[in-house]
């Protein structure tokens, strides 16, 4: 029986070491979230800027589509083609 208590003690020490290491890694991971916060805020700002640029680009494309599909544009193009012929 004295040999079994030795192995039980080794097993307990191993389990405590593994659990302790895991808890330490969790604490480190949760504490390091603060150093990524400025980077996350910067990325959120970039996403907002890109969304604004996308909306602006969509609006410009809509305006260009209206210009290209208007009859006045076709008339102007036809006149330009007559001049170049």
Identify the pLDDT of residue 32: 59
Q: Do 45 and 27 share a structural domain?
A: no
Alpha carbons 40 and 32: distance in angstroms, whole number? 13
Q: Do 85 and 49 share a structural domain?
A: yes
3-state secondary structure of 58: helix
Alpha carbons 33 and 58: distance in angstroms, whole number? 36
The pLDDT averaged over each successive group of 10 residues in the chain (85 residues) is 73 88 77 68 88 92 81 75 80
Q: Do 43 and 15 share a structural domain?
A: no
- Domain extent, residue 62, equals 37-85
Model's pTM, two decimal places? 0.45
Identify the pLDDT of residue 51: 92
DSSP code string of 3-61: HHHHHHHHHHHHHHHHHHHHHHHHHHHHHTHHHHHHHHHHHHHHHHHHHHHHHHHHHHH
Identify the pLDDT of residue 54: 92
């Amino acid at each position: 029986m004295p040999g079994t208590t030795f192995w039980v003690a080794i097993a307990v020490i191993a389990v405590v070491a593994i659990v302790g290491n895991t808890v330490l890694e969790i604490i480190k991971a949760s504490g390091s979230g603060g150093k990524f916060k400025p980077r996350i805020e910067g990325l959120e700002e970039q996403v907002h800027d890109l969304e604004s640029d996308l909306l602006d680009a969509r609006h410009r494309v809509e305006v260009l589509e209206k210009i290209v599909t208007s009859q006045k544009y076709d008339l102007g193009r036809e006149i330009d083609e007559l001049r170049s012929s």
